[in-house]
Amino acid sequence: MTHLLEVRNLETRFFTEEGIVHAVNGITYTLNEGESLGIVGESGSGKSVGVLSVMGLIPNPPGRVTAGEVIYGGRDLLKLTPSEMRRVRGHEIAMVFQDPMTSLNPVLTIGRQMTEAMELHLSIDHETAMKRAAELLSMVGLPNAADRLNDYPHQFSGGQRQRVGIAMALSCNPSILIADEPTTALDVTIQAQIVDLVKRLKEKIGMAVIWITHDLGVVASLVEKVAVMYSGFIVETAPVHELYQNTSHPYTLGLLESLPKVDAKTKQRLIPIQGLPPDLLKEPRHCPFAPRCRYAVDQCWEENPSLKPVAPEHYSACWRWENARQDARQRMMTIGEVA
Amino acid sequence: MSQTNTASNGTPSSQDSITEVKPLIEVRNLKKHFPIRRGVLQRQVGAVQAVDGVSFNIIKGETLGLVGESGCGKSTTGRTILQLLSPTDGDVYLNGHSLTEMGRSELRKQRRRMQMIFQDPYSSLNPRMTVGNIIGEPLLIHNIGNAASRRERVQELLKLVGLNPYFINRYPHEFSGGQRQRIGVARALATNPSFIVADEPISALDVSIQAQVVNLLDDLKSELELTYLFIAHDLSMVRYISDRVAVMYLGRIVELSERDEVYDHPLHPYTQALLSAIPIPDPFKEEKRQRIILEGDVPSPANPPTGCRFHPRCGYATDVCRVEDPEFRNLGTENKPHMAACHHAEKFV
């Protein structure tokens, strides 16, 4: 079976005055048509840099994709010329950015910004593009869409701007929509609106979605499979139910344990992940999570584990995944009793 | 303004109650309006009603969680209680003394007893001061001890918040976000306060670090007998840390009760929507959930809707909601008050 998108051993580095930042350290994943993938990680995990590398949006210098392949439509996107890449970006693969306050140009009207990509990619005239822009805006749930095309970004609220961002990303019928923390800057009720919107659009249009987030909660309701990133590595990947039920990496387990349960009847003390986030300037030789891991043994300090299958479609990069899984199952059982 | 006249406020210590627990903080009909000025003469043309008549008590030793979305006035409430912003109307009592009527020097003395932890650990620490000077500054301002004893106290505080006392001469940029927030906590504790306003203390931190800071706040509370006003938009964290929870919407408190009451039996449609919007990190539970998706955005506090401020987004709104401001009333029992400001709250009891 051929995949819609295949990322193989992608590696991105930033060459700075302080040294080489190992932002993405050889990640591999696939995305099928119409599928949704959640990439979960904390700041500095490489989740955003990973997709920006796919889109060819890494500022060079200081950054560079130093290895790997991104296969889309039979071609390696990393080998395309800038003008070839421009035909893919925004057309076949589109992106929604985190901050709806800064990702729109404040001095151009929404209509002007929305039609730019359409005129470029779909070679349609301005009038047709404006008509389509109005359709798109009403599709993402903006009231009086046609009138609002002449408004500037500051005249929209945060949630509305993110809707504009999504409408703009959808304007050229992309086959992949990449959403980079699109709800992080929004309130929880507005986040629910946007998540709901993307779910409906996905079903309607049938595009594949990559949703990047730090929130294991958002991912649980939205995607089919999940990749958890830490320190530039994918440390665990599985279908969403499998990941939560049979968690097999100490970091994923740690993230779940450090979240309070909103439906918990009794107060169970949170179990934080000890220590500090990793220093990306150091070249990773041992398991990157070992310094913070309660399961770490000598082997973890000697050799960095690669992703290995632990169940069908479920991969974990941990020498002691069986111990982590055992504790995760224990945890699921106690939660079940509490709930 | 029926809401503002209500004296009873959802604490076991309210007047009729038998238990004699004296509240540490009493907030009475607190208002903070920010004037909107226009034109050459800067005439006032309106006001942003950031906080518009809130009343509640905080009992010694408890944590009151204050939740709401951005712009609802929760941070302004915290700052106005501490008199960092002077209230437009209403009163705040600390141990029975009115902070609003106090003279400046007297207020300054009282400030030792109430401190604040800020949201952003990056902008709330002066990058040109050492950690020792940052944490020691409140001691200097309040003229506590001499240089040597202050230094000792700072080291003690660093230990207390889980940092190495050896860090005393370092600068903020040498620390991670979670460590900086610990420095902010140490600074707040320097003068031995009894009341702390924590304004979104964890929202700028990574998930794995949030739990560290929350556990620290929890431990310090029992160790030092602190009282918290914990302001946050993360409802799961608020449930975890609070004893009672107040929900704010557009400058008003719409619901206030004991934590589990609010989360398990919410009586205000806004609280219900807010709770249903929280993503649960469990796909099995997510599949079974019914979400209430609120329409539209929060209206501007400069021009709040008539009647119940939530009515334009509320699925239960009727004619009375459009006209009449609902009273903030007790729908629970006398011993276990459950306050809500909704005309139709009986429906949900």
By mean pLDDT, which of A160-169, A263-272, B274-283, B287-296 is the weakest?
Answer: A263-272
- Indicate if the pLDDT at residue B3 is higher than 60: no
Taking the alpha carbons at both ends of chain A, their separation in whole angstroms is 41
Cα distance from A249 to chain B (closest Cα, Å)?
14
Q: Residue A24's beta-bridge partner residues?
A: A12
Contact B294 A255 (CB under 8 A): no
Q: How confident is the model over B302-310, as a mean pLDDT?
A: 91
Contact A188 B233 (CB under 8 A): yes
Contact B279 A269 (CB under 8 A): no
Give CA–CA dist B2/B328, Å, rounded: 8
- Partners of A221 on chain B (C-beta within 8 Å) are 279-280, 283, 286, 289
By mean pLDDT, which of A38-47, A181-190, B111-120 is the weakest?
Answer: A181-190
Query: What are the strands of the beta sheet with A5-16, ordered from one edge?
Result: A19-31, A5-16, A63-72, A75-76
Most confident of A161-175, B12-26, B327-341: B327-341
pLDDT of residue A1: 59
- Indicate if the pLDDT at residue B233 is higher than 90: no
Contact B280 A262 (CB under 8 A): yes
> In chain B, which residue's Cα lies nearest the Cα of A241?
B283
Inform me whether the C-beta atom of residue A217 falls under 8 Å from chain B C-beta atoms. yes
- Partners of B179 on chain A (C-beta within 8 Å) are 276
- Partners of A245 on chain B (C-beta within 8 Å) are 284
Q: Residue B91's beta-bridge partner residues?
A: B28
- Partners of B178 on chain A (C-beta within 8 Å) are 276
Question: Sorting pLDDT into bands at 50, 70 and 90, what band is A2?
Answer: confident
Cα distance from A266 to chain B (closest Cα, Å)?
9
Contact A221 B279 (CB under 8 A): yes
CB A233 within 8 A of CB A27: yes
Share of chain B above pLDDT 70, in %: 94
Pick from A221, A223, A235, A333 the residue to mutate for testing the B interface (most B CBs within 10 Å): A221
Contact A245 B275 (CB under 8 A): no
Contact A217 B239 (CB under 8 A): no
Write out pLDDT tens, residues A139-148. 888 878 888 8
Domain boundary assignment for chain B: 2-113+193-348
CB B46 within 8 A of CB B302: yes
At CA B293, angle to CA B292 and CA B294, rounded to 5? 110
Contact A262 B263 (CB under 8 A): yes
Instruction: Tell me the domains of chain A and their CATH numbers.
Output: 5-223 (3.40.50.300), 248-338 (no CATH)
Q: What is the pTM of this model?
A: 0.85
Write out pLDDT tens, residues A57-89. 898 888 999 999 999 988 999 999 999 998 898
CATH class of B2-113+193-348: alpha beta
Question: Sorting pLDDT into bands at 50, 70 and 90, what band is A333?
Answer: confident
Contact B277 A244 (CB under 8 A): no
Among the listed residues A2, A41, A10, A12, the one whose alpha carbon sits nearest the alpha carbon of residue A237: A41
Ramachandran angles phi, psi of B166, nearest 5°: -65, -20
pLDDT of residue B11: 45
Query: For residue A283, which amino acid is it?
Result: E
Ramachandran angles phi, psi of B248, nearest 5°: -110, 145
Instruction: For residue B327, give Cα distances in angstroms to B20, B49, B307, B343.
Output: 26, 18, 11, 8
> In chain A, which residue's Cα lies nearest the Cα of B215?
A270
pLDDT of residue B284: 85
Write out pLDDT tens, residues B196-212. 999 999 888 888 888 88
Average pLDDT value over all residues in chain A: 88
A-proximal residues of B, 238-257, CB under 8 Å? 239-240
Among the listed residues A9, A186, A165, the one whose alpha carbon sits nearest the alpha carbon of residue A95: A165
Query: Which residues, 6+ apart, have CB-to-CB distance to A108 below 8 Å?
Result: A152
Q: How confident is the model over A95-110, as a mean pLDDT?
A: 86
CB B78 within 8 A of CB B66: yes
Contact B282 A220 (CB under 8 A): yes
Cα distance from B202 to chain A (closest Cα, Å)?
12
Contact A221 B297 (CB under 8 A): no
Inform me whether the C-beta atom of residue A85 falls under 8 Å from chain B C-beta atoms. no
pLDDT of residue A103: 84
- Partners of A43 on chain B (C-beta within 8 Å) are 206
Give CA–CA dist B100/A86, Å, rounded: 61
Question: Sorting pLDDT into bands at 50, 70 and 90, what band is B298?
Answer: confident
Inform me whether the C-beta atom of residue B209 falls under 8 Å from chain A C-beta atoms. yes
- Partners of B72 on chain A (C-beta within 8 Å) are none
A-proximal residues of B, 146-185, CB under 8 Å? 176, 178-179
pLDDT of residue A265: 67
Inform me whether the C-beta atom of residue B297 falls under 8 Å from chain A C-beta atoms. yes
Inform me whether the C-beta atom of residue B73 falls under 8 Å from chain A C-beta atoms. no
pLDDT of residue A336: 60
Query: Between A and B, how many CB-CB pairs are < 8 A?
Result: 130
Give CA–CA dist B26/A89, Å, rounded: 57
Pick from A99, A140, A187, A332 the residue to mutate for testing the B interface (most B CBs within 10 Å): A187
Q: Residue A311's beta-bridge partner residues?
A: A314
Better-predicted residue by pLDDT, A196 or A335: A196
Write out pLDDT tens, residues B59-118. 999 999 999 888 889 999 999 999 999 999 999 999 999 999 988 899 998 999 999 999
pLDDT of residue B10: 44
Nearest to A270 among B214, B275, B284 (CB): B214
pLDDT of residue B280: 86
